[in-house]
Structures are given as structure tokens and as C-alpha cells.
Amino acid sequence: MPQTHLPSKYITAVCIVLSAVLALLRFDSLQIGTSYDDAHYIILAESLAGGQGYQLINFPRPQIERNFPPGWPLLLAPFTLAFPKNYDALKIVSLILWLASIPLVHKFSSKRIASPHLEILTALVALNPLMIGSSVTVMSESAYLFFTLLALTLFDKSEEGNAGWLICAAVLAFYSQQIRAIGIALTLSLSVILLLSRRFRDFGVVAVILIIGFAFQSWFNLGNGGSLFSSGYETQALSGSLAEKAYRFWSNASGYFNEVLAGSLIPAFGARLENTIGFVFSAFNFVVLALVLTGMLTWKPKLEWAQIYLAVYLAGVLTFWNPQVGSVKARFLIPILPFLYLHFLNGLKWLTKGNSRIALGVSAVIAIILIARNLQDWRSPVRLQTTDLSIGASWIAENAPPGAIVMVNEPVPAYAHVKRLTINFPKNDRDLEKYIENQGIDYIVIAPPLQSPRSSKLDKNVAETLAFLRSSPKEYRIVFEDEKNNTSVFEYTGGAK
């Protein structure tokens, strides 16, 4: 087996430093709430920290959470308690977990690929703009990646005969599933590899751990009115007829393999360039996918936990279906990018017959592309292209009473900025005036919807609400207005409160 030498450790340290520098440059690239899920995690973490159960406490009448697993909010809860309303502290937690994942990538891969490909792999993972960008948000990808890699690394150690490492790996695998529902790929593949390798005694130990864990998870979910596993994922992945499932699978596969996968590994083309020189992009996409596939087919050993996990994870991603937010997303590939890079380099190694000079040359070009993409995002961050949630909301955070209730068109994402209770606009043509009075609403934020690229155009119901508010200036007093961004804040002054 290849050994880890001191120079390799130095290279890993340099990779960590470079990744940290790029992450800090991009620390404010994405505004809190614009990913939606990040605000969701924040609210759930604050609910747990405040002893209010597992619910969305941004609403005046808290809503029990039935879709998001509790692992990531549970990890964030102590930090929301220590740093109340300081969401940068939560981003730092994510960043630390990301940086800690880099040496785990090196450690895990050191038994599977030799130098210099090992160091190249570590560098490519550490510089990947998708992974760095995710690390400076309150999303769960970095945490999931860290605990997945830690579980896989400890499983390697368990093969030396220490059952304690296997128990730790099983516990971490289950916890990874509590961070993201797709983590069931990790627990399922662990059981499969133990059975296929005829480690029946170890399988029995792991089965007991997982049964206890699943029993607790089911009890927790059912107690909240959810399902045995995950209401959201079961609806998105398991609903529909066999024909519908086949169509979804094929549609997702086409999206990932034609556009997303290659661009996630080597983001050499932007959307405009892809449209301009589509044939070049298609050829590039084919080469990258061919190298990844070659790496998979020539991989030895064929039977190991990571390989089965990768297959099950991909199957899970390809069956996911949510047309409202999009079923094909590059961020879904983040947890498996280290494994895809590993196969890419293994394919390159096989094609060049182990010629390290070619590998170093190709990897140097890729590294330059990765760094350039990170710097591009630093100079032109995503937040400049997305609706600014802080406009109007920051005025409320500074001026409204702590107990105020705010009506906004995005109550979950806006919560991190208004820092007050939030509620949505009325639906189904409900009487607006009665709704405002019955819900005890104090402020109304009129703003464009959360979208990218940003627009100043209001949704139809928001525009109608604005017209109604302006027609009753005595009851609805305007306290903030930003004409450029078509955003205004009204205070409700009439009616019995």
C-alpha cells in the first residue's frame, strides 16, 4: 500500500491554508437566507437551543418540522446559544468542518491512490469552488461530507481487527443520515458491504446499532406527525408510477451527465460560453465523463464500502424529484466530489499508463481554473445577482419592537434579517384586512420575490397588497421606502390589537 510521507503532509497543510484563504475571501458571497435551507436550519437550531422543540419558531404559531432531519440543527444549537443572532458564527462552524474534511480526503485516499496522484487529488478537492462556496454558508453539505469521510476512514481502521472503530463508523454513518436524508445511502451501503464480504459478526453489531437508531428516528418523526423516514424525501423520491419514476430518473441523469457533473469537477465554462461554443463543451463533457467512468471500471478493489456508497448515493440523487426548486443541482454532488475526483485521476492514470508528468500538467491547468472560479466569485459574488433580503428587513431589525410580527413574502429566509416573528401573505383570496388584524401583524414588507437574477418586479398578490395599503394611509403608515429596489415597509396602526 502507498505510504503517507512528510512532504505529502506539508502539501495537505498548504491545501488547507489555500482553501481557507479562498473561503474567507468568499465568506460573504452568498447572503443568509437566499439558499432558503440555510435559514431553515438556523430557525430549527434556535428552536432546539431555546428548548422549544423541533419547530419553525419564526412563525407566530410555530410549525412542527417534518422534513429536515435534526442532525445539523442539533450541532448548530450550542453555537446559536453562545452567539445569539450572530449567523457568521454558524458559517464558521461549517467552514471548520470543511477544512477538517481536507486531511480526511487525504487519509482516506492514501490507501487507494499513490503519490503524486494522491497530492493532486487533495489539492483539487481543496480548491473546488463549489465545495468552498458551500463551506461559507449555513448549509449542511460540509458537515455531511466531514462525517461521511470520518466514517469511511474509521471503517478502514476497523479492518485491522478493532471492533471499536467499526462501532464508531456505524454511529457516524447513522449520524450522517441525520444531517441529510440521502445519508441513508451510507447506512445501507455499510450493511451491504458487510454482507457481501461475509463479515456476518460485524454485520450483526452494525445491525443492532442501526436498528436502535432507526427506531429512535421513527419515534421522533412519527411524534412530529411525519413518516418513518422522511416525509419530504419520500414524497420527492418515491411518489409516482413506475413510468413516472423512469422518466424522472432519465431526466435527472441527462441533466447531470450532460451539464452538471463535468462542470462541478472542472468548471471551465460559464453558461454564456457553453451556449456560444456548445460543441466544445460537449466534447469536454464527454472527456471528463469518460475519464471518470474509466477510473470506475479499472478500480481495484471492486468491492469496498465507498464504491457501494457512491452507487447508492447516485441512485438516490437520480430518483429525487422536486420541480418547484429543480431536481438537478450541482450542490447534490458535493458529498461525492472527492470520490469522483478519485475516479477521474485513476482514469487519467490508466490512460497515461501512470505518467506523472502528464497528470501534473493536466492537474495544474485544472487547479488554475478552480482558483480562477473562486476569485471570480470573490470579485463578482452571487449576492449581487440575487434579491437582497436585507432591504427593508434591516430597518425592522433596528426599529421594530422585539415582539413585532412581520408579514413578508418569504417568511423563512426573511427571518434572519428582520429578526422578528414572520408570517406569509394571505392565500386563497382571503380578506387582507381581516388577516392582518387576526394575525396581529405589525409590519408589512413589500418586496420583489427571492430570485436570481434579481428583479424589481413584484408578484401579483404583493402588488395588489401594495395598492391596498396605499389606499388606506391612516391605517398603514409607510416607514421605509427604497424606490430603486421597489421595496417598502408599512406599519399597521389601525384596528384593535
User: How far is Cα of residue 308 from the mean position of the Cα atoms in its chain?
Assistant: 22
Instruction: Tell me if residue 405 falls in helix, strand or coil.
Output: strand
- How far is Cα 422 from Cα 400, in angstroms, rounded to an integer? 13
Per-residue pLDDT tens over the stretch 4-46: 445 788 999 999 999 999 999 999 999 999 988 999 999 999 9
Per-residue pLDDT tens over the stretch 211-251: 999 888 888 877 776 666 666 666 666 666 778 878 888 88
Give the Å distances, CA to CA, from 202 to 92, 148, 308: 37, 19, 17
> Among residues 15, 2, 7, 4, which one has the least CA distance to residue 122?
15
Question: What's the mean pLDDT when you consider all of the chain?
Answer: 90
> Among residues 313, 337, 317, 386, which one has the least CA distance to residue 130?
337
Position 226 scores a pLDDT of: 65
- How far is Cα 206 from Cα 51, in angstroms, rounded to an integer? 32
Cell of 371: 482558483
Cell of 66: 417534518
Rg of the chain's alpha carbons, rounded to an integer? Answer: 25
- How far is Cα 475 from Cα 490, in angstroms, rounded to an integer? 9
Phi, psi of 445 (to 5 degrees): -100, 120
Position 299 scores a pLDDT of: 85
Position 395 scores a pLDDT of: 96
The b/e string for 26-45 (b: 16+ C-beta within 10 A; e otherwise) is bbebbbbbbbebbbbbbbbb
Position 249 scores a pLDDT of: 85
Per-residue pLDDT of the chain (497 residues; tens, 9 = 90+): 444 445 788 999 999 999 999 999 999 999 999 988 999 999 999 999 999 999 999 999 999 998 899 999 999 999 999 999 999 999 999 999 999 999 999 999 999 998 899 999 999 999 999 999 999 999 999 999 999 999 999 999 988 778 899 999 999 999 999 999 899 999 999 999 999 999 999 999 999 999 999 888 888 877 776 666 666 666 666 666 778 878 888 888 888 888 789 999 999 876 555 556 667 778 888 999 999 999 999 888 778 999 999 999 999 888 876 666 667 888 999 999 999 999 999 999 999 988 889 989 999 999 999 999 999 999 999 999 999 999 999 999 999 999 999 999 999 999 999 999 999 999 877 889 999 999 999 999 999 999 988 899 999 999 999 999 999 999 999 999 999 999 999 999 975 44
Q: Which amino acid is at 486?
A: N
Bridging pattern class, strands 476-482 and 405-407: unpaired
Instruction: Tell me if residue 55 falls in helix, strand or coil.
Output: strand
Bridging pattern class, strands 476-482 and 487-492: antiparallel
Q: Is 307 exposed, middle or buried (0-12, 13-18, 19+ CB in 10 A)?
A: middle
Position 494 scores a pLDDT of: 78
- How far is Cα 394 from Cα 144, in angstroms, rounded to an integer? 32
User: How far is Cα of residue 163 from the mean position of the Cα atoms in its chain?
Assistant: 32
Contact 342/114 with Cβ under 8 angstroms? Answer: no
Position 2 scores a pLDDT of: 47
Position 1 scores a pLDDT of: 43
Instruction: Tell me if residue 422 falls in helix, strand or coil.
Output: strand
The secondary structure of 197-225 as a DSSP string is TT-HHHHHHHHHHHHHHHHHHHHHHHHTT
Per-residue pLDDT tens over the stretch 92-133: 999 999 999 999 999 999 999 988 999 999 999 999 999 999
Bridging pattern class, strands 487-492 and 443-446: antiparallel
Contact 320/236 with Cβ under 8 angstroms? Answer: yes
Give the Å distances, CA to CA, from 180 to 73, 104, 162, 170: 11, 20, 28, 16
Contact 362/442 with Cβ under 8 angstroms? Answer: no
